[in-house]
Amino acid sequence: MFATRRPASQYPVLPTALEAEEYNMGHPNRGKCVIFNNRVRLPPAVHTPSPLHGYFEPHTKLSERRGTDLDAENLYLRFRELGFDSTVHHNMSSRQMLAELKSLGSQDYTHDDCFVCCILTHGDRDVLYATDGKFPVDSVMEPFRGDVCPTLLGKPKLFFVQVSSHGGGGNGAPLGAPGLSAGMQGGTFLYPLSYLVVGME
């Protein structure tokens, strides 16, 4: 289903000129940094999931991502130091993650410089995994398109994705997003407009 285009009159004035070499970073707030951290472990015989101690559902055959909690904590602290309003979400299902992203995309960023999203999880080409299964990479960015989230139009939208390979071997897997051309530099995929950076472990 295609997003409904807004009339031109509903779009805000761009905070940065199209030909500018730098973004306008003089808004009252630096912006939000949202971190999704999927570590989780396989369940014992009887287990009740909680926000911090869930598990990848057995049918996904995904292993625990040890060490990711430290990565999430370091990201949280570093972006706080940089002035961001940082939040960490642990071990979410695909429905929970996509609902949270949709909610974030509906917020007002008029007074923010930019938006940052970090996702630490398992992944394969063009897909990421939540605790209950996979979802398309492009569904992460969809809620933040200029015609969907107009108050981020003309502002940096940064997506950092650290993925472990689906098989759990630690070698990683190439990750792409349909419709975007990527250049490869030192094991990291760099997408146009500083939109998506994918690291592989």
Tens of pLDDT, residues 80-102:
999 999 999 999 999 999 999 99
Worst-scoring range by mean pLDDT, 9-13, 21-25, 63-67, 72-76?
A: 9-13
| Least confident window among 28-42, 115-129, 156-170, 172-186 | 172-186
Q: Is pLDDT of 152 > 80?
A: yes
Region for 130 from its dihedrals, namely left if φ exceeds 0, alpha if ψ lies in -120 to 50, beta otherwise: beta
d(C-alpha 8, C-alpha 59), whole Å:
46
Query: 123 - beta bridge partners?
Result: 128, 165
Neighbouring C-beta atoms of residue 48, cutoff 10 Å:
7
d(CA 83, CA 163): 26
Q: Over the stretch 48-75, which tens digit does the pLDDT of each residue have?
A: 444 444 555 566 666 678 888 899 999 9
Residue 197 has pLDDT above 50, yes or no: yes
Q: Is 86 helix (H, G, I), strand (E, B) or coil?
A: strand
- In the structure, what pLDDT confidence band is assigned to residue 10 with cuts at 50, 70 and 90? low
Where is mean pLDDT largest: 9-23, 43-57, 74-88? 74-88
Distances in Å between the alpha carbon of 130 and those of 15, 99, 114, 141, 183? 35, 13, 25, 16, 26
Residue 55 confidence (pLDDT)? 55
Q: Which amino acid is at 1?
A: M
pLDDT number for residue 50: 45
**CB distance 198 to 126 below 8 Å:** no
More confident residue, 188 or 159: 159
CB 165 within 8 A of CB 173: yes
**The predicted structure's pLDDT at residue 35:** 97
Question: 128 vs 20, which has greater pLDDT?
Answer: 128
More confident residue, 12 or 109: 109
Q: What is the mean predicted confidence (pLDDT) over 108-128?
A: 92
pLDDT reported for residue 48 = 43
In angstroms, what is the C-alpha Rg of the chain? 17
Give yes or no for a contact between 180 and 192, defined as CB atoms under 8 angstroms apart: yes
Instruction: Say which residue, 161 or 10, is predicted with more confidence.
Output: 161
- State the pTM of this model: 0.73
Cα separation, 33 vs 86, in Å, equals: 5
Name the more confident of 131 and 9: 131
Q: In Å, how far are 8, 126, 146, 162 from 75, measured between CA atoms?
A: 37, 24, 26, 12
**Tokens representing 17?**
């000129």
- The rounded mean pLDDT for the chain is 75
